[in-house]
DNA sequence: GATAATACATTGATAATCTACGTAAAGATA
DNA sequence: TATCTTTACGTAGATTATCAATGTATTATC
């Protein structure tokens, strides 16, 4: 399941800055509660993606004074997302053929 | 990319018996040449799936006298494929939302 | 004052991945 | 007949990914 973390995180950050806790919520919301990521699973991935140069972070203070580490996607990350998207769609196309379903099913 | 080996292999074997070399060909064909698996990458996955009980194997001799190890999907494997499919479609649905595309694009 | 929610992090065991390498036979080509 | 390509299987081992478990701390709610 977690093999999909990279495209999902990059896609979310392409929509705009976000932070760890909120990313988990967004994934949960967008999936209708099906995808529930743990924080212990997400943070190492965020650190790895930052180390690889796909995202970058800055500490910010929210309205209520809470510290948050906001991540944003880099130019390199955008290119990587395009590649990830191509890969995903390639596999998706094959699976759709094998499953004999319409892609929306 | 290789995170997709499991659903792909199980889906192919659900269509009928097959063997390592042919599976690589099928994936290549179905993807229009985009997905090219190496044998050294596939065989360990086949062994793992067999060990986990999702597929089973038997040695057979082809028309030209060549030895082949044919794999077929087990009942447990069929159940696992259903689960894999659900997982895949959950992620797919989220990505489609984020990418703002029709699933066929 | 206690509990839940928010928000970050690391550690470390387990599992997955993939390149590189090895074997061998059949078929094609020169 | 010698060589190359294709078919067909395999393992080893380094690298990487995964995830549960655990820790810290603040804010919000009850």
Q: What is the pLDDT of residues A19-38, one digit of tens each?
A: 999 999 999 999 999 999 99
pLDDT at residue A1 greater than cutoff 60: no
Which tokens is A78 given? 């955008």
What's the pLDDT at A101? 76
Distance separating alpha carbons of residues A76 and B37, to the nearest angstrom: 26
What's the pLDDT at B70? 96
**Cβ burial, residue A35 (10 Å; 0-12/13-18/19+):** buried
Q: Which residue out of A5, A87, A94 would a mutagenesis test of the B interface target, given it has the greatest number of B Cβ atoms within 10 Å? A: A94
| B3 secondary structure, DSSP code | G
pLDDT at residue A53 greater than cutoff 90: yes
Question: Closest Cα to residue A38, out of A74, A2, A67?
Answer: A2
pLDDT per position as a tens digit, A35-49: 999 998 999 999 999
Assigned fold of A2-99: Arc Repressor Mutant, subunit A (1.10.10)
If one counts every other C-beta atom within 10 angstroms of the C-beta of residue B19, the result is 17
The domain ranges of chain B are 2-99
CB-based contacts of A88, cutoff 8 Å, min separation 6: A7, B95
First CA to last CA distance, chain A: 19
Mean pLDDT of B58-77: 92
What's the pLDDT at B6? 93
Question: Closest Cα to residue A15, out of B22, B10, B95, B38?
Answer: B95
Residue B51 approaches strand D within 7 Å at CB:
no
Half-sphere exposure of A75 (CA within 13 A, CB side): 0
Question: Closest Cα to residue B42, out of B62, B59, B22, B68?
Answer: B22
The distance of Cα B43 from the centroid of its chain, to the nearest Å, equals 12
What's the pLDDT at B103? 55
What's the pLDDT at B105? 47
Which tokens is A25 given? 């919520």
Question: Closest Cα to residue A42, out of A56, A27, A60, A57?
Answer: A27
Which of chain B's residues have a Cβ under 8 Å away from the Cβ of A99?
A: 11, 85
Distance separating alpha carbons of residues B5 and A101, to the nearest angstrom: 19
Query: Cβ(B6)–Cβ(B85) under 8 Å?
Result: no
User: Of all protein residues, which has its CA closest to the C1' atom of C5?
Assistant: A21
Rg for chain B (alpha carbons), in Å? 15
What's the pLDDT at A81? 94
Residue B69 approaches strand D within 7 Å at CB:
yes
């Amino acid at each position: 399941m977690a093999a999909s973390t990279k495209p999902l995180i990059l896609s979310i950050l392409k929509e705009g800055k976000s932070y760890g806790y909120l990313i988990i919520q967004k994934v949960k919301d967008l999936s209708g509660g099906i995808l529930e990521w743990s924080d212990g699973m997400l943070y190492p991935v965020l650190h790895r993606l930052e180390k690889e140069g796909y995202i970058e972070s800055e500490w910010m203070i929210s309205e209520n004074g809470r510290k948050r580490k906001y991540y944003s996607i880099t130019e390199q990350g955008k290119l990587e997302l395009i590649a990830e998207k191509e890969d995903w769609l390639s596999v998706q196309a094959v699976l759709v053929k094998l499953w004999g379903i319409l892609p929306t099913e």
